[in-house]
């Protein structure tokens, strides 16, 4: 009896050792072992199944075992998501399966600066190689609203899946501006006089956006234009002339704005026409919108560059001419340096 008990104890220990060894091997091959020698991008396209993806991963030397990959996917829900994945160096078959099952796709951060026109934004996106596709929409594309006007898009920093279509990105920007408009509507549609609607808000905000890069100055610039509108004065905003001269591009490409340009025939030329231009001249950020909705309380009617990246503001034309003379002196000094 004693011999049998000893034998049973040894057999039990041996069995446990075998099981532990098998489990260790299983854990090693499933969660530790990896043939991935460097960070690798891998695409899962629409219409592929788990078996097809497993074979592709094996062909690319990203996994050692197709059965283990399938088992890992099954343990993570049994489905895989389409997209571009950044599989890191040393990733195990379990980690890869988890990434694909959860849709943990590679992402990119894209910064769209404030003050760009739709034409400039489309050019920026076409030069961004982490996005795909064209920027002009058609039937069945990722942009349901084909006609995009300046003021429709919200410039911001966006994090999207690598390989996102450019049209889907544009639609993301469009929706964010729509959400901004909805928030204004829900807040009670508060609007300073003599502005009448959202188009007026964004149109004036686009002029403010183009006039100054300084957030702190925007409420002052907005106050100047609102004061001029109240008094029935022409806005005489240079950015509106640039917009007219460049057919909506909004960039003189290094060419100076000359006095003769101020006579360009266009409804956007605020040197010729009273009131706001018919529509925004750029796409604006939240700071410019806030500046228009909450302008500074001033009597300013004029402003001119101060040569330091900001502006000098004036209540009278006489004071403005003094500031203008100071700016000409600064320009003269800069041109001789």
Question: In the numeric block, which tokens belong to residue 93?
Answer: 């078959």
Domain layout of the chain by residue ranges: 24-102, 107-186, 198-336
> Which of 101, 281, 83, 81 shows the shortest CA–CA distance to 168?
83
> Which of 59, 95, 77, 284 shows the shortest CA–CA distance to 180?
284
- How many CA atoms does the CB half-sphere of 312 hold within 13 Å? 19
The per-residue pLDDT for range 91-136, each reduced to its tens digit, is: 888 889 989 999 999 999 999 999 999 999 999 999 999 999 999 8
Cβ count within 10 A of residue 7: 10
Contact 216, 293 (CB under 8 A): no
Mean pLDDT of 273-286: 98
Architecture in CATH for domain 24-102: 2-Layer Sandwich (3.30)
Question: In the numeric block, which tokens belong to residue 276?
Answer: 């706001």
The per-residue pLDDT for range 296-320, each reduced to its tens digit, is: 999 999 999 988 889 999 999 999 9
| Alpha carbons 100 and 95: distance in angstroms, whole number | 9
> Which of 65, 91, 82, 118 shows the shortest CA–CA distance to 250?
118
Looking at residue 23, its pLDDT comes to: 44
| Alpha carbons 176 and 197: distance in angstroms, whole number | 18
DSSP 9: H
Mean pLDDT of 7-20: 53
Looking at residue 323, its pLDDT comes to: 86
Contact 279, 199 (CB under 8 A): yes
How big, in percent rounded to 5, are the helix, strand and coil portions of the chain?
Answer: 50, 10, 45
Q: At what angle do helices 198-211 and 286-293 cross, to 10 degrees?
A: 110
Q: At what angle do helices 218-230 and 286-293 cross, to 10 degrees?
A: 40
Q: Output phi, psi for 87, to 5 deg.
A: -85, 115
86: β partners: 41
Mean pLDDT of 152-158: 98
Answer whether 0.85 is exceeded by the pTM.
Answer: no
């Amino acid at each position: 009896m004693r011999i049998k008990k000893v034998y049973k104890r040894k057999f039990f220990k041996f069995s446990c050792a075998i099981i532990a060894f098998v489990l260790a091997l299983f854990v090693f091959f499933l969660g530790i072992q990896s043939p991935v020698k460097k960070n690798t991008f891998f695409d899962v396209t629409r219409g592929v199944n788990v078996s097809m993806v497993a074979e592709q991963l094996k062909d690319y030397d990203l996994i050692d075992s197709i059965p283990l990959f399938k088992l890992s996917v099954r343990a993570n829900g049994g489905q895989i998501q389409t997209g571009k994945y950044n599989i890191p160096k040393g990733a195990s078959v379990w980690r890869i399966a988890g990434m694909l099952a959860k849709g943990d796709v590679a992402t990119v951060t894209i910064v769209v600066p404030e003050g760009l026109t739709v034409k400039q934004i489309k050019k920026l996106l076409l030069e961004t190689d982490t996005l795909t596709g064209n920027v002009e929409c058609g039937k069945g594309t990722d942009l349901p609203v084909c006609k995009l006007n300046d003021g429709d898009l919200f410039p911001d920093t966006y994090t999207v899946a690598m390989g996102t279509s450019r049209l889907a990105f544009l639609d993301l920007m469009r929706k964010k501006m729509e959400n901004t408009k909805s928030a204004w509507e829900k807040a009670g549609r508060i609007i300073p006089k003599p502005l009448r609607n959202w188009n007026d808000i964004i149109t004036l905000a686009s002029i403010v956006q183009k006039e100054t890069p300084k957030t702190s100055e925007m409420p002052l610039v907005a106050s100047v234009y609102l004061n001029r509108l109240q008094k029935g004065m022409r806005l005489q905003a240079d950015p509106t002339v640039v917009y007219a001269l460049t057919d909506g591009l909004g960039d003189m490409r290094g060419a100076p704005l000359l006095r003769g340009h101020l006579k360009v025939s266009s409804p956007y030329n605020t040197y010729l026409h009273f009131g706001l231009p018919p529509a925004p001249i750029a796409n604006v950020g939240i700071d410019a919108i806030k500046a228009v909705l909450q302008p500074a309380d001033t009597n300013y009617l004029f402003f001119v560059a101060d040569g330091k990246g900001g502006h000098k503001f004036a209540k009278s034309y006489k004071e403005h001419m003094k500031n203008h003379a100071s700016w000409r002196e600064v320009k003269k000094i800069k041109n001789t340096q």
